[in-house]
Amino acid sequence: MIAAGLAACLPAPLLRAEPAKLPPWEKFDEEDGISVYRRDVPGSDVVALRGEAVVAAPILRVASVLTDVSRATEWIDSLEEAKIVRKISDTEYIKWDHIGTPFVLADRDFVFNVKLELKAKEKQMIVRLKSVQDAAAPKTDYVRGHMIYGMYVMTSIDGGKKTKLLTEMLCDPKGSVAKWMVNLFQKSWPHKTITALRAQVKKPDIKDNPKLKDALTKEGII
């Protein structure tokens, strides 16, 4: 599904609009402790989506899953392939995702700039994503989607035992799919993504990333 592909998209002011000028978030669903919101964005036919929930795992475990490209296909819906095509620094890299779609549609792919940010005072780690052009990205026949922005904000809570997760995205899969249909399908993205992430962090073979552990420890987040 196109909507499932948007799970790979994983926010930052939207389309350069000032936050105060943006419409408010509208809550349209709450299930399994996951609150889901939408927001119309000036200049965009696709809506921005937001999900908020608590994940019953420490921030290091959640962050390790979110940044583990090698196992991303295990939990991101319809993700067929994912790889880092160019490392910029320890906290920034270029990532390529291939999204499977129904047979009547062309598959999509995305090229992201991914940046990691730590906020010691807030006990947070943020993963920001946006589409970029990069010569190192694979050349394919897929329709290249555009991730205007994406974000995962993880906040350590409950004495480090749990993580408050906020995720947002504004993503256009491009191609000939009508935007009203994109908006209809992608409504399920926040709930699906958070539900899958909750399941992934519980797998017994998931390992914490030692570099992330060192960075989070140095900042006093864990």
Each residue of 146-160: pLDDT tens digit? Answer: 999 999 999 999 999
The reply to whether 59 falls in a domain is yes
E strand map for the chain: 26-31, 34-39, 48-55, 79-89, 92-99, 108-119, 124-131, 143-144, 146-157, 162-172
Q: Which residue has the higher pLDDT, 58 or 77?
A: 58
Q: Is the pTM of this model over 0.75?
A: yes
pLDDT of residue 203: 98
Domain assignment present for 161: yes
Q: Is residue 102 part of a domain?
A: yes
Closest residue by Cα to residue 58 from 215, 163, 146: 163
Q: Would residue 175 count as lying in a domain?
A: yes
Residue 152: give the domain boundaries: 2-13+35-218
Closest by CA position to 116, among listed 170, 154, 81: 154
Q: Does residue 190 lie in a domain region?
A: yes
Decide if pLDDT at 181 tops 80: no
- Report if residue 21 sits inside a domain: no
157: CATH: 3.30.530.20
pLDDT exceeds cutoff 90 at 179: no
List, in order, residues 6 or more apart from 196 with CB less than 8 Å away. Answer: 7, 75, 76, 77
What are the beta bridge partners of residue 86? 94
